[in-house]
């Protein structure tokens, strides 16, 4: 094997195909809108003790259990911004499905470099929602976990439409 099978390398390869197919960043976010609520519900139903413990630690701000790395281009980010990024990656790893993990994490990684300039908004508007999603999963409420994740991604799409609509219509870049 030439390189580790991780979301960055998978995303780099996939971004070429997304680019060639004319897929936009809006398309990538819409895919996340479909997939991430399903993953949140699966984790809530499964109630794996190690996942619940990692989520409790996340909520208590102690640490996250991230079985992966932040993308190489995620530089100069705050601890809270890293927490935002790690939460989604942590959930995808908890899915227990390597295809889901690679696919969704590669979609998540597409926006990391662009968002580094808006740290305050990330921290103010999106960080607290992660705690609510984590608590719904811990409580075993799959429907609520899925709803909160769906609402969260929809809020992010709305934010992008208000602050950077041109970005959403750009064809995914090969990276």
- CA gap 59, 53 in Å, rounded: 10
Q: pLDDT tens-digit profile of 110-144?
A: 765 555 456 566 666 777 798 999 999 999 999 99
Report the candidate in 92, 113, 110, 88 with the shortest Cα–Cα distance to residue 172: 110
**Domains observed in the chain:** 7-61+75-169 (1.20.120.530)
Average pLDDT value for residue range 26-32: 93
Whether the predicted model's global pTM rises above the 0.85 cut = no
- Please tell me what DSSP assigns to residue 73: T
Residue 102, phi then psi, degrees to nearest 5: -65, -45
Average pLDDT value for residue range 80-106: 84
Please report the pLDDT score of residue 9 as a whole number: 83
- CA gap 173, 175 in Å, rounded: 6
Contact 150, 33 (CB under 8 A): yes
Q: Give me the DSSP letters along 98-125.
A: HHHHHHHHHHHHTTHHHHGGGHHHIIII
């Amino acid at each position: 094997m030439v390189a580790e099978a991780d979301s960055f390398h998978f995303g780099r390869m996939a971004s070429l195909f997304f680019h060639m197919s004319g897929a936009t960043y809006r398309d990538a976010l819409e895919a996340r809108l479909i997939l991430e609520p399903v993953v949140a519900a699966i984790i809530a139903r499964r109630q794996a003790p190690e996942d619940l413990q990692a989520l409790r630690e996340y909520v208590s701000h102690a640490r996250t259990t991230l079985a992966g790395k932040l993308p190489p281009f995620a530089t100069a980010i705050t601890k809270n911004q890293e927490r935002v990024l790690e939460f989604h990656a942590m959930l995808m790893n908890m899915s227990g499905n390597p295809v889901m993990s690679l696919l969704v994490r590669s979609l998540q990684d597409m926006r990391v470099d662009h968002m580094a300039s808006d740290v305050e908004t990330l921290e103010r508007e999106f960080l607290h929602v992660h705690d609510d999603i984590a608590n719904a999963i811990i409580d075993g409420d799959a429907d609520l976990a899925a709803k909160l994740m769906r609402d969260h991604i929809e809020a992010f799409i709305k934010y992008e439409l208000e602050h950077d609509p041109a970005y959403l219509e750009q064809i995914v870049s090969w990276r």
